[in-house]
Amino acid sequence: MLQFYPEQALERLEFEKIRQLLLAKCRTNYAKQAALNIKFHTKKEYLEEALQQVYEYKQTLGGSDYFPNDFTKDITGELKLLRVPGAVLKGEDFLSINKLTLTVRDILLWLKRQNNLYPSLEEIAIAVTYQKEIPKIINEMIDDAGVVRDSASTELMRLRHDIEKKRQQLRKVFEGILRKLNKQGYLADISESFMNGRRTVAVVAEQKRIVKGIMHGESESGKTVFIEPEETIELNNDISSLEREEGREVYRILKDLTASLQVYHPNLESYLKLCGVYDFIRAKALLAHDMNAHMPRLSSNPGTHLIKAYHPLLLLHNKTLGKPTYPLTISMDKDNRILVISGPNAGGKTVSMKTIGLLQTMCQAGLLIPADDTSEIGIFKQIMIHIGDTQSIENELSTYSAHLRDMKYFLEQANGKTLFFVDELGSGSDPNLGGAFAEAIVEQLANKKAMGIITTHYLNLKVMAGKVPGIFNGAMAFDEEKLLPLYQLVLGKPGSSYTFSIAQRSGLPEHVINRARQITDKGHFKLDKMLHQTEQQSVRMTSKERHLDQLVKENEKLKSKYEELIDKERLEQHYQTLKLQNKIKKEELDYLRDMERKFKQIVFDWKRTDNKQEVIESAEKILFKKKHIIQNQAAATKADKNYVITAKQPEVGDLMRNKDNHQIGRLVEVKGKKAIVRIGHMPFTITMDEWITVEAKKPQPRKKKTEE
């Protein structure tokens, strides 16, 4: 496992911000926990496997044939309950288990269809076996709404048949009572309602003693009372008794169904974990897509060779602002182990250092990095950092004392597998003494074969880089004329701090600047001046080289443009053909599955029911679906003409419209996900998801004809 020093190392390298971006893309609890407890690999084979998985998943993004890991619900509790003898799962729980199983089936089929195109993703699922009996067992007992099917048992079918028969009798009796009371003028405006689960008539309060029955309540105004007529009391009691029997039978069926799935508990746990693993890889792939990240080559040996590498957070930030981000290229190996970066303040020294540290950390965490795919990353076992103010109030340590404490740890623990970062080595003390200590520390770290980056303004460290083997210089380029940093790391030479130039451009009095030059040691001033001149020459040469490179690139583009034009049309035609084929196949498959399910139900109903005509009518509705569609379209047109959709939270008394057949009814009672809607004088139990609230359109006033 990769070790970090100090404890705040990940925070100071800004890896915690990367973690938050990753967490935002996780959908499952498993993936979120994996992101919070992300592993930093130090073995090449594990790291290659993790990076390859993300790389392969990233290849699937954006295409029409997407990776089908759509199950994101956390059913850990339901699966734990499945192991308990005598436990009973709800209908909705079985729907979740069914969806999980079918998702795993789709994943395995998708991987098989790719013909080993994504071997690392395929390897994850190699030990998982799809159990086709799971959806078969569930679908025989539970319908698409999570309700136990009538056909789940003979007893349940009998009970529901008796309940329906009693309800029909109740409707006839109740409608007769409504007609009678309406003629007598006893009914209130709403005429009927449901109270305490019983169908009641809404009677004007003054007439409540005339209508015989049980009063279940009254309106808030007290002007309306709700009475259950005595003619329907016995029927209501019979229905309630049958419904209780139905509930007991449903409970028994769910209990047996739960027991029958217990044998598949290990499979279901592996399914849930598989979906979580793929979701975590998906999150890493989406993050890589956002920052245009790639998979670098890996080396077992410590070192780094980054080409056109970007700080990921700076890249994303500038991307939203439309600002450019400047990449850096750097190499560190056994011959060039310690890089000393110099240059003016606010020139990008610390950002460059953090970029290398953050990308190294991301890579060893199994994340793709925003750098050219020809980059190569070595593997380290320790990352040590000293960035920012590390003074400790609790331990009464000054900035410099804390600095020395960290350096002591570096010198004691560093080895050939260590990558370290020190910002402003030796700062916080007397310049001469601090520079001497800094030189001694760098020398010892070089002797320990550790690799790292140091930022500094000390001239003695810049000179040291040219003398001690393994230490080399780098400078942040600076445009002296515009007095602006170029954010470009130039390797092989030290950089000037541009102290006098910045002071002059900042408006400091000339005599103060001249006095500072006189006070400054002549050798020190001469060396900084030479660095200044060399760096400006390098900037001018770099500008010319960039211009020449641009001309060469444009020439290469023109050379290849003709070949691209030839292939482009052919590739587009091939892509569109495949896309159309996939769409047609999916639509056909969905249609055939739906038809197969419906005809199985028809065959089953034919064998069990005595009402053959009803089964024939169901078959005709399926076979002549086109006629049904035309009728629905006509109903939709009529509904659109007379009603406007409000789609607000439904309340009792609202007008409701069926999303499928476009019937209009009034909501009279809400029972969780179920409700009762009255269409005309007939109440119907409905599922709320299938209906939407509407309002009647106000009639438009007719325009008067103007007299001629």
Burial class of residue 300, CB neighbours in 10 A (0-12, 13-18, 19+): exposed
Q: What are phi and psi of 318, to 5 degrees?
A: -65, -30
* Domain annotation covers residue 55: yes
Residue from 452, 297, 277 nearest 369 by CA: 297
pLDDT band at 592 (very low <50, low <70, confident <90, very high): low
Residue 389 sits in a domain of what CATH number? 3.40.50.300
pLDDT band at 672 (very low <50, low <70, confident <90, very high): confident
- Indicate the pairing of strand 213-218 with strand 224-229: antiparallel
pLDDT at 630: 63
Alpha carbon 567 to its chain centroid, in Å, reads 36
Domain boundary among 493, 519, 545: 519
pLDDT at 591: 63
In angstroms, rounded to a whole number, what is the distance separating the alpha carbons of residues 376 and 703?
Answer: 79
Q: Are both 344 and 453 inside the same structural domain?
A: yes
Do residues 369 and 361 lie in contact, with contact meaning Cβ atoms separated by under 8 Å? no
Q: Which of 97-101, 398-402, 443-447, 468-472 has the highest mean pLDDT?
A: 97-101
Is pLDDT above 80 for 39?
A: yes
* Domain annotation covers residue 104: yes
pLDDT at 392: 42
Instruction: Give per-residue pLDDT as tens, 11-30.
Output: 999 999 999 999 999 999 99
Q: Are both 404 and 391 inside the same structural domain?
A: yes
Is pLDDT above 80 for 1?
A: yes
In angstroms, rounded to a whole number, what is the distance separating the alpha carbons of residues 42 and 703?
Answer: 83
Instruction: Give per-residue pLDDT as tens, 113-124.
Output: 999 999 999 999
Residue from 540, 498, 505, 447 nearest 342 by CA: 498
Q: Which residues pair with 478 in a beta bridge?
A: 485
In angstroms, rounded to a whole number, what is the distance separating the alpha carbons of residues 273 and 281?
Answer: 12
* Domain annotation covers residue 686: yes
pLDDT at 395: 40
Q: Are both 514 and 648 inside the same structural domain?
A: no
Q: Are both 277 and 415 inside the same structural domain?
A: no
Instruction: Give per-residue pLDDT as tens, 350-381.
Output: 899 999 999 999 999 999 999 999 999 999 99
In angstroms, rounded to a whole number, what is the distance separating the alpha carbons of residues 33 and 17?
Answer: 16
* Domain annotation covers residue 182: no
Q: Are both 266 and 399 inside the same structural domain?
A: no
In angstroms, rounded to a whole number, what is the distance separating the alpha carbons of residues 31 and 277?
Answer: 7
* Domain annotation covers residue 173: no
Is pLDDT above 90 for 226?
A: no
pTM of the model: 0.69
Is pLDDT above 60 for 708?
A: no
* Domain annotation covers residue 623: no
Q: Are both 274 and 299 inside the same structural domain?
A: no
Residue 694 parent element (H or E): strand 691-696
Residue 8 sits in a domain of what CATH number? 1.10.1420.10
Total domains, the chain: 3
Instruction: Give per-residue pLDDT as tens, 602-611.
Output: 677 666 777 7
Angle of the 431-447 helix axis to the 399-413 helix axis, nearest 10: 20
pLDDT band at 279 (very low <50, low <70, confident <90, very high): very high
Q: Are both 340 and 430 inside the same structural domain?
A: yes
> CA of 503: how far to CAs of 455, 477, 486, in Å?
21, 18, 19
Q: Are both 284 and 422 inside the same structural domain?
A: no
Residue 669 parent element (H or E): strand 664-671
Domain boundary among 474, 490, 519: 519
pLDDT band at 44 (very low <50, low <70, confident <90, very high): very high
Q: Are both 407 and 469 inside the same structural domain?
A: yes
Higher pLDDT, 490 or 135: 135
* Domain annotation covers residue 379: yes
pLDDT band at 571 (very low <50, low <70, confident <90, very high): low
Domain boundary among 519, 539, 558: 519
pLDDT at 525: 47
pLDDT at 527: 47
pLDDT band at 573 (very low <50, low <70, confident <90, very high): low
Least confident of 509-513, 553-557, 585-589: 585-589
Do residues 542 and 490 lie in contact, with contact meaning Cβ atoms separated by under 8 Å? yes
pLDDT at 393: 35
Burial class of residue 691, CB neighbours in 10 A (0-12, 13-18, 19+): buried
Q: Are both 418 and 468 inside the same structural domain?
A: yes
* Domain annotation covers residue 552: no
Print the domain residue range for 323. 293-519
Residue 667 sits in a domain of what CATH number? 2.30.30
Q: Are both 316 and 451 inside the same structural domain?
A: yes
Residue from 94, 18, 87, 522 nearest 311 by CA: 18
Least confident of 147-151, 178-182, 442-446, 539-543: 539-543
Q: Are both 278 and 367 inside the same structural domain?
A: no
Higher pLDDT, 124 or 517: 124
In angstroms, rounded to a whole number, what is the distance separating the alpha carbons of residues 343 and 483?
Answer: 13
